[in-house]
């Protein structure tokens, strides 16, 4: 079997997911040995325009160049992976979904925004708004273990099946006391994808929702809980929207 | 079987005997949480604890357990059996019932050998307790235990009663004869007083006499719809339930070794993925259906299959629900609707 051809692409992002790949120091040589890494925005200079077996795409579409890159990568790739919460759900850059786009532009860049028009600056969006996504690896950044499991599966000619439960399950398996019921914190655990081992709540910090919303989220229940805790509902929505604003818009929850 | 009375210091002797037979786990307080953790001495244990976050099922059905490892076609191996005996110290009657229910269930049809092997190897020491406002074990008939322990300890102030529940427990109690004696008349009175105090301390109760029949009649009740609107289906109640044992099995390949582990993960019938089958059909698509299913399983399905509910009244689902749902009020509302 020939080595699968893979590429790592960074659209507008902090490049944290690509950095996570480079942080797999113990496995890097094995990765390089078993895959042909054709492109890597952060680690390889030069350009490759042949076909790929797998493309890992990090970041959001924030301007026309992002979109061109994304569409080009899609055309050349058999499997396209939304790599990290930005690509999958919009992530932190899409937080602006909570504000008025043009007003935000002016606030940041002042009155001279013509150059932004030339760049084709647009409202930040996750990649599934433009192209078909075959697989999602959420996380801010992506979990190292989940990335390596994905590579191992790809090497076997398949994609892994991650069992996504509400984060609460991993939190309870760690025997943490609930930060919602016991501490009155705004914790996004019940709405968020598991897979991080409830890292933040295990350290006493409520879940920020960085792994994005579960396939089925239950907004009304969440609303009721926080009402009884005497917390304004907007606070919860705002917190969830930090990492996944566009996903909430699609779910029809934006106005609530 | 044998009952002995002794001063509380006997627990130290008992502990040192037990630690000679295996690793001892007991209730340890860490901040607001109490967890069953390894004990290095009896003073590590919080004997007056109310409830641990996770029930002792974690010892028999550990989350994320590797069932087998395979590398290629036809090559597979099961993990080495754990040699070490474990001693579970300080389990309340509800948890003893929980283990018994799980054992019956896991022995049925296709016996679950990893579970049963671990259960067989465990030495269990029960511990008396007084209820808080979330305990309703008495309504489930689980406030005392007649089996499922090797030794049961009842704390009676400056005396403790030790009761043997198995031949092994009997032998161990016999070894403590130097420090323990036949319960005196006063010990017996104290025990009766303790039972009275315990039974009078319950503030939460639920009459389950006709519940399975009521459930038959209330399949279409509005209660389920309302509950479905309130419940996150986050799975907290299933994870902390002493008798919830549903699991999912996933294959996790390792990039480093090339081997794949087949792992079982705790699952819940509350999850949408639970009833998802080939072709994308979901036979419990709606949240209300899933919540209802969990309640029916505990108080109807299990009764039909095994003669009693699979709820022990430990109160963990009440204390861990972020939506503030409590099982007792749910069933009470149903029975009220039925009575109207």
Q: What are the residue ranges in chain A where pLDDT is below 70?
A: 1, 96-98, 217-237, 248-256
Per-residue pLDDT, A214: 85
Residues of A in contact with B52 (CB under 8 A): 175
> Is the ipTM beyond the 0.95 threshold?
no
- Token match 């940041």: residue? A108
The C-alpha of B36 sits at a distance from chain A's nearest C-alpha, in angstroms, of 10
Whole-number mean pLDDT of chain B? 94
The residue of chain B with its CA nearest to that of A155 is B255
Select the more confidently predicted residue: A218 or B169. B169
The C-alpha of B234 sits at a distance from chain A's nearest C-alpha, in angstroms, of 5
Q: Which domain holds residue B91?
A: 3-64+75-200
- A 10 A CB-CB count for A175 gives 19
- Do A27 and B323 lie within an 8 Å CB cutoff? no
- Residues in CB range of A178: below 8 A, 6 or more apart: A168, A171, A187, B236, B320, B322
> Is B266 a domain residue?
no
> Is B249 a domain residue?
no
Per-residue pLDDT, A255: 38
- Residues in CB range of A177: below 8 A, 6 or more apart: A183, B31, B32, B33, B53
Name which of A215-224, B3-12, B308-317 the model is least confident about. Answer: A215-224
- Do B320 and A172 lie within an 8 Å CB cutoff? yes
Give which of A172, A133, A157 is closest to A34, Cα–Cα: A157
DSSP letter (8 states) at residue A12: B
Per-residue pLDDT, B256: 93
- Do B33 and A180 lie within an 8 Å CB cutoff? no
The C-alpha of B244 sits at a distance from chain A's nearest C-alpha, in angstroms, of 13
Residue A221, chain B, CB below 8 Å: the answer is: yes
- Residues in CB range of A95: below 8 A, 6 or more apart: A241, A242, A243, A245
- Do B322 and A161 lie within an 8 Å CB cutoff? no
Q: How far, in whole angstroms, is CA A221 from its chain's centroid?
A: 25
Q: How many distinct structural domains can be found in chain B?
A: 1
- Do B320 and A190 lie within an 8 Å CB cutoff? no
| pLDDT band (50, 70, 90) for residue B74 | confident
> Is B326 a domain residue?
no
Percent of chain B having pLDDT more than 90? Answer: 85
Residue B33, chain A, CB below 8 Å: the answer is: yes
Cβ A116 vs Cβ B223: under 8 Å: no
Residue B254, chain A, CB below 8 Å: the answer is: yes
Percent of chain B having pLDDT more than 70? Answer: 99
Per-residue pLDDT, B40: 96
Question: How far apart, in whole angstroms, are the C-alpha atoms of residue A98 and residue A11?
Answer: 21
Cβ A215 vs Cβ B287: under 8 Å: no
Pairing of strands A77-83, A135-137: parallel
- Do A182 and B32 lie within an 8 Å CB cutoff? yes
Best probe of the B interface among A27, A29, A157, A190, by most B CBs < 10 A, is A190
Pairing of strands B23-30, B86-91: parallel
Q: How far, in whole angstroms, is CA B217 from its chain's centroid?
A: 29
Question: If you count DSSP H runs as helices and E runs as strands, how many of each does chain A have, helices first?
Answer: 11, 5
| pLDDT band (50, 70, 90) for residue B311 | very high
The residue of chain B with its CA nearest to that of A186 is B322
Question: Which residues in chain B (60-89) have CB-CB distances under 8 A to chain A?
Answer: 63-64
Residues of B in contact with A151 (CB under 8 A): 255
> Is B251 a domain residue?
no
Question: How far apart, in whole angstroms, are the C-alpha atoms of residue A91 and residue A121?
Answer: 17
The C-alpha of A253 sits at a distance from chain B's nearest C-alpha, in angstroms, of 15
- Token match 């009440």: residue? B318
The residue of chain B with its CA nearest to that of A178 is B320
Per-residue pLDDT, A239: 79
Give which of B184, B244, B291, B229 is closest to B57, Cα–Cα: B244
Cβ A214 vs Cβ A193: under 8 Å: yes
Per-residue pLDDT, A256: 36
Per-residue pLDDT, A229: 64
Per-residue pLDDT, B39: 97
Name which of B130-144, B273-287, B326-340 the model is least confident about. Answer: B326-340
Tell me if the bond preceding A141 is cis, omega within 30° of 0. Answer: yes
What is the spatial order of strands in the sheet that B260-266 belongs to? B75-77, B65-72, B260-266, B247-253
Question: How far apart, in whole angstroms, are the C-alpha atoms of residue A211 and residue B337?
Answer: 42
What's the sign of the alpha-carbon dihedral A93, A128, A255, A232?
negative
- Read off the pLDDT of residues B49-67 as tens digits, 9 standing for 90 and up: 999 999 999 999 999 999 9
The pTM for the full model equals 0.92
Residue A182, chain B, CB below 8 Å: the answer is: yes
> Is B162 a domain residue?
yes
> Is B176 a domain residue?
yes
Neighbour-count burial of B110, counting CB atoms closer than 10 A to its CB (0-12 exposed, 13-18 middle, 19+ buried): exposed
Residue A144, chain B, CB below 8 Å: the answer is: no
> Is B23 a domain residue?
yes
Question: What is the DSSP track for B110-168?
Answer: S--HHHHHHHHHEEEEEE-----TT--GGGGT-SS-SSS-SEEEEEETTEEEEEE-SHH
The C-alpha of B171 sits at a distance from chain A's nearest C-alpha, in angstroms, of 35
DSSP letter (8 states) at residue A178: P
Per-residue pLDDT, A238: 74
> Is B332 a domain residue?
no
Q: Which of A151, A156, A175 sits opposite B35 (nearest CB)?
A: A175
Neighbour-count burial of B20, counting CB atoms closer than 10 A to its CB (0-12 exposed, 13-18 middle, 19+ buried): exposed
Q: Which of B229, B234, B265 sits opposite A220 (nearest CB)?
A: B229
- Read off the pLDDT of residues A69-115 as tens digits, 9 standing for 90 and up: 999 999 999 999 999 999 999 999 888 666 788 888 888 888 887 88
């Amino acid at each position: 079997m020939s080595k699968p051809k893979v590429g790592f692409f960074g659209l507008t992002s902090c490049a944290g997911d690509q950095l996570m790949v480079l942080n797999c120091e113990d496995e890097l040589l094995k990765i390089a040995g078993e895959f042909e890494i054709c492109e890597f925005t952060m680690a390889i200079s030069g350009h490759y325009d042949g076909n790929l077996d797998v493309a890992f795409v990090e970041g959001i579409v924030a301007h026309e160049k992002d979109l061109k890159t994304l569409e080009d990568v899609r055309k050349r790739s058999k499997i396209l992976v939304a790599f990290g919460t930005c690509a999958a759900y919009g992530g932190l850059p899409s937080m602006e979904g909570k504000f008025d786009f043009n007003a935000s532009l002016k606030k940041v860049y002042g009155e001279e925004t013509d150059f932004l028009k030339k760049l084709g600056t647009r409202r930040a969006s996750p990649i599934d708004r433009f192209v078909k996504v075959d697989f999602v690896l959420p996380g801010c950044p992506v979990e190292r273990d989940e990335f390596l499991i994905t590579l191992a599966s790809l090497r076997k000619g398949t994609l892994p099946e991650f069992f996504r439960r509400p984060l609460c399950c991993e939190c309870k398996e760690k025997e943490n006391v609930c930060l919602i019921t016991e501490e009155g914190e705004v914790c996004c655990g019940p709405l968020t994808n598991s897979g991080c081992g409830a890292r933040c709540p295990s350290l006493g910090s409520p879940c920020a929702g960085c792994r994005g919303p579960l396939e089925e989220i239950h907004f009304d229940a969440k609303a009721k809980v926080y009402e009884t805790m005497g917390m304004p509902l907007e606070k919860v929505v705002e917190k969830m929207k930090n990492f996944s604003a566009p996903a909430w818009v699609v779910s029809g929850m934006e106005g609530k | 079987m044998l009952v002995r009375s002794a001063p509380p210091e006997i627990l130290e002797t008992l502990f040192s005997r037990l630690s000679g037979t295996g690793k001892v786990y007991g209730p340890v307080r860490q901040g607001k949480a109490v967890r069953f953790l390894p004990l290095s001495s009896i003073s590590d244990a919080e004997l007056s604890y109310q409830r641990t976050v996770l029930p002792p099922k974690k010892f028999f059905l550990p989350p994320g357990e590797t069932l087998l490892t395979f590398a290629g076609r036809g090559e597979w191996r099961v993990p080495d059996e754990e040699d070490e005996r474990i001693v579970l110290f300080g389990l309340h009657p509800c948890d003893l019932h929980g283990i018994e229910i799980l054992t019956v269930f896991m022995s049925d049809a296709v016996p679950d050998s990893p579970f049963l092997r671990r259960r067989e190897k465990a030495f269990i020491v029960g511990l008396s307790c007084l209820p808080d406002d979330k305990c309703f074990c008495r309504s489930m008939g689980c406030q005392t235990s007649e089996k499922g322990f090797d030794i049961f300890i009842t704390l009676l102030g400056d005396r403790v009663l030790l009761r043997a529940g198995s031949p092994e427990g009997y032998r161990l109690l016999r070894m403590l004869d130097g420090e323990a004696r036949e319960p005196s008349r006063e010990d017996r009175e104290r025990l009766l007083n303790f039972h009275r105090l315990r039974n009078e301390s319950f503030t939460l109760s639920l009459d389950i006499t006709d519940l399975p029949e009521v459930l038959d009649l209330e399949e279409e009740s509005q209660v389920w719809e309302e509950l479905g609107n309130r419940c996150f289906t986050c799975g907290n109640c299933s994870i902390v339930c002493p008798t919830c044992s549903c699991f999912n099995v996933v294959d996790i390949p390792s990039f480093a070794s090339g081997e794949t582990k087949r792992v079982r993960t705790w699952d819940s019938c509350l999850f949408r993925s639970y009833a998802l089958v080939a072709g994308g059909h979901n036979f419990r698509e709606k949240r209300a259906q899933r919540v209802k299913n969990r309640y029916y399983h505990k108080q109807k399905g299990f009764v039909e299959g095994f003669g009693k509910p699979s709820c022990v009244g430990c109160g963990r689902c009440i204390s861990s629900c972020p939506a503030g749902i409590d099982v007792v009020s749910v069933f009470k509302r149903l029975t009220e609707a039925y009575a109207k």
